[in-house]
Homo-oligomer: A and B are copies of this chain.
């Protein structure tokens, strides 16, 4: 099981966007520069966030991306699912109903015992992600960040938003 790195990028980007003033916007190229990742590829994932209604985009000069809702109302689960897809990690292909012991479908319990546990594990994972919002993350980094990093970040914002 492996998550694409786009998930990490999307989470960090939404966190950065949470610090934007309400009328501001950051282009994909700036977000990529901030995290030192390929701009063209990051754009692909930002489009996914846009389609999911997590961020909204504005074209033209002074355009870019901004959060479409208050950070506290965006859960990490939404961001992850927007990039990675909403389907469960485990896919049950019902192999218990195959082979030499095959019977009519009504002879089997409605859900495979294995698939049931795997699904519960998946729910536990999603529940944890749904309990934390982008606002929580932003508050956490705001309180933990060193003065040096905070100053650099503030200067960068100042320069980019002009």
Number of A interface residues, CB 8 Å?
59
In A84-106, the 8 Å CB interface with B consists of 84-85, 89-93, 95-96, 98-103
Q: Are A98 and B35 in contact (CB under 8 A)?
A: yes
Task: Give bound CA distance, A109 to B35, whole Å.
Answer: 17
For residue A40, which residues in chain B have a CB less than 8 angstroms away from its CB?
none
For chain A, what secondary structure do more than half of its interface residues adopt (helix, strand, loop), or is it mixed?
A: helix
Known: A12-B95, A12-B96. A7 touches B103 (CB 8 A): no
Beyond A1-B89, A3-B91, 11 additional contacts (C-beta under 8 Å) are A2-B89, A5-B91, A8-B95, A11-B114, A35-B99, A89-B89, A100-B156, A103-B148, A113-B140, A121-B126, A125-B125
